[in-house]
Amino acid sequence: MAIGKVYLVMTLGFITVLLAYQLVGEVISKGLELPLPGPVVGMGLLFVTLLIKGNLPEGLKKTSQGLLSHLSLLFVPAGVGVMMHMHLLANEWQAISVALVVSTALTVLVTAGAMVGLTHLTGDKPSGEEIKRD
Amino acid sequence: MTEGLYQVWVYLSTEPLLGLTVTLIAYQAGMWIYAKGKLNPLLNPVLIAVVILVGLLMVTKTNYQTYFDGAKFVHFMLGPATVALAVPLYSQFKKVRSTFPVILTSILFGSATATLSAIGIAWMMGASEATLLSLAPKSVTAPIAMGIAEAVGGVPSLTAVLVILTGIIGAVIGPGILDLFRIKDWRARGVAGGTAAHGIGTARALQVSEVAGAFSGLAMGLNGLATAILLPLLLGWLF
């Protein structure tokens, strides 16, 4: 029981930490009229905090894993909102599909190409399990 | 009896409980189908859940606002979940610290390609401004992409769907493109997958290589941050 209670308190504490970072992020984003969404500012601040702190508290790791294990559930309600914009999809599906497929293919290619080129330039060649074997 | 049932429906259709419950059920149905289909990216659980729910709302003639009054409790968790993305970002960052400058530079190229090419192609094909702005953050993980869409004047719910479609496309065609160009470095393959196809690309990378998964996860987080910072500046200059 005691372990369960401590775990519960830790989780609650770290959920509070996440909300507090979001809150500070929202305040900074709105206050400075940044185009960055508040939660993204909060994420950046938490990342910097962890870098400065130099380690990751176990409770924060567990709490985040719990929250992120069902991350994709969280954007279902917003996704359903697409029903109000069916006319956009119906009228512009050709432009949207071509843009999605071509742009995604280009992004894969440019990003991988940059990685290969830059690792080659810096002499950081892949080794061991970094190489795909056919 | 029918009258009684009708009264129950009238009551439930105005309460948040129903919207919340059907959201969880539809998502779990999506997860079940995805698992049955051996995690095939085409059977994306979010897309399945969205299709089920849109169908249900249309059949019962329920408007979106009524549904969202219940579903908003799930939606609210997006904010803290976005903040929580800092944790895997930090864990992956520690693993790949020495290669970090190279990764960041590659992601900046990827982010610029993803946004500029999507906007450019859709614009040439006559898409409306609302579509262009919703399309721009399509390669970014959904919680961040929706925030970006809102910030730049796009339609967040359209962005959510376009992001998922992008993830599916990337997971399906990405490995083939990389093979075609004989890119065998798992680090490059991972960074490309995470930058172009966010969490869906990362899930795909994790299925084949732990190295690719780690690099992909890092790329997803960094691309989200980079695009959130750069896209509003770019759009301010374009529009």
Q: How far is A133 from chain B (nearest CA, A)?
A: 8
SS3 B185: strand
Cβ of B84 within 8 Å of Cβ of A64? The answer is yes
Last residue of a domain, one of A74, A98, A113: A74
At B180 the pLDDT is 96
pLDDT over 50 at B202, yes or no: yes
Å from B1 to nearest chain A CA?
33
The fraction of chain B above a pLDDT of 90, given in percent, is 71
Q: CB-CB: which of A22, A68, A112 is closest to B192?
A: A112
Q: Are B147 and B139 in contact (CB under 8 A)?
A: no
- Note whether A15 and A41 are same-domain residues: yes
From chain A residues 6-65, the ones with a CB under 8 A of any chain B CB are: 15, 18-19, 21-22, 25, 35-40, 42-44, 46-47, 50-51, 56, 60-61, 63-65
Report the interhelical angle of A58-68 vs A2-31 (nearest 10°). 70
| A95 and A84 belong to one structural domain | yes
Given a cut of 70, whether residue A9 has pLDDT beyond it is no
Q: Which amino acid is at B97?
A: R
* Shared-domain flag, residues A67 and A122: no
Q: Read off the pLDDT band of A2 (50, 70, 90).
A: very low
Q: What single letter denotes the amino acid at residue B178?
A: L
Q: Measure Cα distances from B49 to A68, A79, B33, B235 in Å.
A: 18, 9, 10, 32
The answer on pLDDT for A11 being more than 90 is no
Roughly how many angstroms between the first and final C-alpha of chain A, as a whole number?
52
Mutate to test the interface with B, among A11, A16, A28, A43 (most CBs of B within 10 A): A43
Give the A:B interface size as CB pairs under 8 Å. 336
**Percent of chain A topping pLDDT 90:** 57
Of A2-6, B26-30, B64-68, B162-166, give the lowest mean pLDDT range.
A2-6
Q: Looking at the structure, tell me whether residues A49 and A110 fall in a common domain.
A: no
Do A5 and A70 lie in one domain? The reply is: yes
Does A96 lie in the same domain as A33?
Answer: no
Predicted confidence (pLDDT) at residue A5 exceeds the cutoff of 80: no
Q: How many CB atoms lie within 10 A of CB B210?
A: 12
What average pLDDT does the segment A17-23 reach?
Answer: 96
Residues A5 and A55 in one domain: yes
Are residues A56 and A94 located together in one domain of the fold? no
Same domain membership, residue A128 and residue A107:
yes
B35's tokens: 């698992």
Indicate the residue among A74, A89, A119 that finishes a domain.
Answer: A74
- Reported ipTM: the value is 0.88
Domain end position, chosen among A58, A74, A90: A74
Position A1 scores a pLDDT of: 42
Length of chain B: 239
The whole-angstrom separation of Cα A56 and Cα A45 is 14
Q: What is the mean pLDDT of residues B211-233?
A: 92
* A48 and A6 share one domain: yes
For A94, the domain range is 77-134
Whether residues A30 and A81 share a domain: the answer is no
Per-residue pLDDT band for B16 (boundaries 50, 70, 90) equals: confident
Structural domains in chain A (count): 2
Interface mutation target, options A76, A120, A122, chain B, most CBs of B under 10 Å: A76
Same domain flag for A4 and A68: yes
**pLDDT, position B94:** 85
SS3 B125: coil
Chain A interface test: which of B61, B87, B164, B186 (most A C-beta within 10 Å): B87
Q: What is the pLDDT of residue A124?
A: 84
